[in-house]
């Protein structure tokens, strides 16, 4: 088939076209000098179309955060049973934000540079970060409910997860998106998990002990002592107990 008969390339969805037009103008003119009217004119749509997707000009700079926050909240809601280590769960939730940035490194780096130059966008970004932190803290508060200092622990861990994630993310963005962002974030979140999470080994372990023989008994008695974390799930305790008895 000749090139003249090839089908024309499909237009990007309107939302993507608005984001592309906005950033083209931000880079050419500057953020403050660009208006919503400028953006819709370049995108070839009306003002109503813009506000159908974005409540404000600031929101077009952060087009995917609402979706990511919704996905994160759903992910956390699926890990409320005792089987999941809550600290590991919130660290995995933070990795969802990283994946959003890593999907389009060029756009993410451009946005990072833009927010560094515009104080209003930095303030807006802080409000977005606070919403992520609040989602993590609310999940942890529910998991630690009834524990001593449960609310305090939840808030401290949520803040630590966000701080570790953002430290690694910004390091990657400052390098113009070079290297493996996932490795950087894993390293940073590892500090949080070692400080606050469950140890890498099982939270329950059986320790065989040789008891002294009773009077008149020639053999020492076999005793198994089960050592368990207070927050270990009951099914894990039973599983380890059965395994210990089977080895005896």
Residues 213 and 147 in one domain: no
pLDDT digits 0-9 by tens, 157-186: 999 999 999 999 999 999 998 889 999 999
Residues 128 and 102 in one domain: yes
Q: Is 6 a domain residue?
A: no
**Residue 9, SS3 per DSSP:** coil
Residue-level pLDDT at 99: 94
Residues 51 and 168 in one domain: no
Residues 139 and 70 in one domain: yes
Please give the share of the chain, as a percent, with pLDDT higher than 70. 73
Q: Is 233 a domain residue?
A: yes
Structural domain for 242, as ranges:
204-247
Q: In whole angstroms, how far apart are CA 176 and each of 104, 170, 179?
A: 12, 10, 9
Residues 165 and 236 in one domain: no
- Assign 12 a pLDDT band (cuts: 50, 70, 90): low
The beta-carbon contacts of 75-83 under 8 Å, at least 24 apart in sequence, are 76/135, 76/136, 76/139, 77/139, 79/139, 80/139, 80/142, 80/143, 82/231, 82/233, 82/234, 83/233, 83/235
Please give the share of the chain, as a percent, with pLDDT higher than 90. 66
Residues 210 and 238 in one domain: yes
């Amino acid at each position: 088939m000749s090139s003249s008969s090839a089908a024309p390339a499909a237009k990007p969805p309107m939302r993507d076209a608005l984001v592309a037009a906005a950033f083209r103008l931000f880079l050419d003119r500057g953020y403050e000098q660009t208006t919503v009217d400028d953006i819709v004119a370049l995108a070839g749509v009306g003002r109503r179309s813009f506000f159908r997707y974005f409540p404000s000009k600031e929101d077009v700079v952060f087009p995917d955060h609402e979706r990511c926050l919704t996905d994160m909240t759903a992910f956390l809601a699926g890990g409320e049973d005792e089987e999941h280590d809550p600290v590991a769960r919130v660290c995995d939730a933070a990795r969802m934000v990283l994946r959003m940035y890593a999907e389009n490194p060029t756009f993410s780096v451009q946005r990072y540079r833009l927010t560094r130059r515009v104080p209003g966008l930095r303030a807006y970004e802080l409000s977005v970060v606070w919403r992520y932190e609040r989602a993590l803290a609310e999940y942890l508060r529910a998991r630690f409910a009834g524990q001593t200092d449960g609310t305090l622990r939840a808030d401290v861990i949520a803040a630590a997860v966000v701080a570790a994630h953002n430290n690694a993310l910004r390091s990657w963005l400052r390098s113009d998106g070079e290297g493996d962002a996932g490795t950087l974030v894993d390293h940073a979140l590892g500090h949080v998990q070692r400080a606050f999470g469950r140890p890498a080994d099982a939270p329950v372990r059986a320790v065989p002990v040789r008891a002294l023989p009773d009077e008149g008994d020639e053999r020492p008695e076999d005793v198994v002592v089960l050592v368990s974390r207070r927050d270990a799930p009951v099914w894990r305790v039973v599983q380890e107990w059965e395994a210990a008895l089977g080895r005896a």
